[in-house]
Amino acid sequence: MAMQVLLRKSDEREDIKCGVCGQGFRLYWERTSLEEQVIMREAVLEALSKQHGSDFTSEVHPTAPFTVPEWSGSPQFSGAAMLGGLSGFHRIADPKLDS
**Strand (E) or helix (H) holding 25:** strand 24-29
Cα-to-chain-centroid distance, residue 97:
33
10-residue stretch averages of pLDDT, the chain, 99 residues long: 81 94 92 85 94 96 85 54 50 46
User: 41, 30 in Cβ contact below 8 A?
Assistant: no
3-class state of residue 80 by DSSP = helix
- Residue 45's pLDDT is 96
- Residue 51's pLDDT is 96
User: Which residues in 46-55 are b (16+ Cβ under 10 Å) and which e?
Assistant: ebbeebbeee
Whole-prediction pTM: 0.71
Task: Give the separation between CA 19 and CA 77, rounded to whole angstroms.
Answer: 28
